[in-house]
Amino acid sequence: MSCLSKKHRLKNSKDFNKLYKSGKKWHTHSFVAFFSPYENFHIAYVASKKVGNAIKRAKAKRVLRALCLENENKIQKGKYIFVAKEKLFEKSFEELKKDFNYAMKKLQLIKNENPN
């Protein structure tokens, strides 16, 4: 499983709409995470024009991708959408990692490391 491979990208607008309407979501100061259970891993990174110009939007998506890549073995399979907020650039990467882990715990998406 890789957060970066093409086969794991979420592309279909029906999937986006369904996930926005009926998926679990958690807001942090720097991003919003949407999740829906699924047997495979599909993911999308979104940064609207509210985040900034094209350069800032691309950087926001790279940061979100890096957060996911760092934690991909810890989170459950499913469909994810990560939406960047303007305040993403106000925090260090370490603070963003804490936010990401907190959001995943609140959504109950962290895999149990001990099967007992």
- Res. 52 pLDDT band, cuts 50 70 90: very high
pTM beyond cutoff 0.85: yes
Average pLDDT over residues 31-41: 91
Average pLDDT over residues 41-50: 92
Average pLDDT over residues 92-103: 92
Residue 98 covered by a domain: yes
Residue 111 covered by a domain: no
- Indicate whether 26 pLDDT > 50: yes
Residue 33 covered by a domain: yes
| Strand ranges of the sheet holding 24-27, from the earlier edge strand across to the other edge | 24-27, 31-37, 78-84, 42-46
Average pLDDT over residues 58-86: 91
Residue 52 covered by a domain: yes
The mean pLDDT of the chain is: 88
Domain that holds residue 13: 6-106
Report how far residue 115's alpha carbon sits from residue 79's, in angstroms, rounded to the nearest whole number. Answer: 23
- Indicate whether 67 pLDDT > 80: yes
What CATH code is carried by the domain that includes residue 38? Answer: 3.30.230.10
- Res. 116 pLDDT band, cuts 50 70 90: very low
Number of structural domains in the chain: 1
